[in-house]
Amino acid sequence: MINMSDSKKLIYAGKAKDVYKTAKKDEVLVIFRDDITAGDGDKKDNLKGKGECNSLISSKLFEVLEENGVKTQYINLIETGSMLSKKLDMIPLEVIARNIATGSLLKRFPFEENQKLDPPIIQMDYKNDEFHDPMLNDEITIALGLATQEELDEIRKITLKINEVLSNFLKEKEILLVDFKLEFGKDSEGNIVLGDEVSPDTCRYWDIHTLETLDKDSFRQGQDNVMDIYKQVCNMIVDEKDLERWDSND
Ligand code: TMP
Ligand code: ASP
């Protein structure tokens, strides 16, 4: 078992996850914390069990993506909350795919609320809290040295594939994938690989029948049942069999 109490091994602390070194130089351990934030961290809370829920959901969705030929950083969920992952050199982009017009898109552009977006919109924001994650275009991204045109084309292609795979998988679970944010990095061979997480913190999931929110919008809107929603969506996405399989990893 990897000793998490050795703080010297901490490589990076994000708003909701910590990344630790492991004995292998090309692997890291991602720990999902219970912290939840919104509005660049202005609104904060700590919800017991949220980290565990997100680690289970992310592991399951990374596995589904890998089964469908998408490269991810995921290696294994070694215990609930702790994901063994490939070490990536992260690209500071927030790659957002949108199937339905909602959220910040409505504040910035005259789309109709809940308008279907087909083909989906892919938007790239600069992951930079100081500048409040501004929206990019390819020229700005390239001029800032964040990625090359070839890398941007590849990221768009992978994002569309991820949208297709996850939309189909979640539909079977009676969840509508409204939009989501991805982060990519490069592995030691220079391949573009999906990193970070794919969870209710980073996606909009709606109940396919009622269109009710099943994600972090519940927290952004100040609802008092956020953890109930995270547990519900975790039960919808992760099967008993997945839990048994991960349990037997210990
Ligand atoms: P937005 O409509 O607020 O721009 O959000 C688009 C998607 O990106 C939504 O699924 C939530 C996700 N997201 C993040 O993961 N992190 C963020 O900081 C923001 C603002 C949105
Ligand atoms: N992720 C951002 C924050 O934690 C904003 C958001 O998700 O709404 O502050």
Name the one residue in this structure whose structure tokens are 């600069």.
126
% of the chain exceeding 70 in pLDDT: 96
Model confidence at 2: pLDDT above 70? no
Whole-structure pTM value: 0.96
Query: How far, in Å, is the centroid of ligand 1 from the Cα of 24?
Result: 33
pLDDT-based confidence at residue 115 (cuts at 50, 70, 90): very high
pLDDT-based confidence at residue 8 (cuts at 50, 70, 90): low
Q: Which residue type occupies 128?
A: N
Nearest CA to ligand 2 atom 8: 38
Helix segments in the chain, DSSP class H? 50-67, 104-108, 138-143, 149-172, 217-220, 226-237, 240-247
243: which residues sit within 8 A by CB, 6+ positions away? Answer: 56
Q: Which two tokens stand for residue 221?
A: 């809107």
% of the chain exceeding 90 in pLDDT: 94
**How far, in Å, CA of 157 to CA of 164, rounded?**
11
Query: How far, in Å, is the centroid of ligand 2 from the Cα of 176?
Result: 21
Ligand 2 atom having least distance to the Cα of 42 = 9
Q: Where does residue 93 fall: left (phi above 0), alpha (psi -120 to 50 degrees), or beta otherwise?
A: beta
What 8-state DSSP symbol labels residue 190? -
| Tens digits of residue pLDDT in 24-63 | 999 999 999 999 999 878 899 999 999 999 999 999 999 9
Q: Which residue type occupies 129?
A: D
Tell me the CA distances in angstroms from 27 to 76, 88, 133, 191, 239, one per residue in order.
11, 9, 28, 15, 27
Pocket of ligand 1 (CB under 6 A): 96, 103-105, 179-181, 202-204
Give the pLDDT mean for 206-227. Answer: 98
**How far, in Å, CA of 60 to CA of 243, rounded?**
10
| Tens digits of residue pLDDT in 118-141 | 999 999 999 999 999 999 999 999
| Tens digits of residue pLDDT in 79-111 | 999 999 999 999 999 999 999 999 999 999 999
**How far, in Å, CA of 217 to CA of 19, rounded?**
25
**Helix-, strand-, coil-residue percentages of the chain, each rounded to 5:** 35, 30, 35
Name the one residue in this structure whose structure tokens are 């959220």.
103
The mean pLDDT of the chain is 96
Query: How far, in Å, is the centroid of ligand 2 from the Cα of 247?
Result: 31
φ and ψ of 119, to 5 deg: -70, 160
Q: Answer yes or no: are the C-beta atoms of 180 and 202 closer than 8 Å.
A: yes
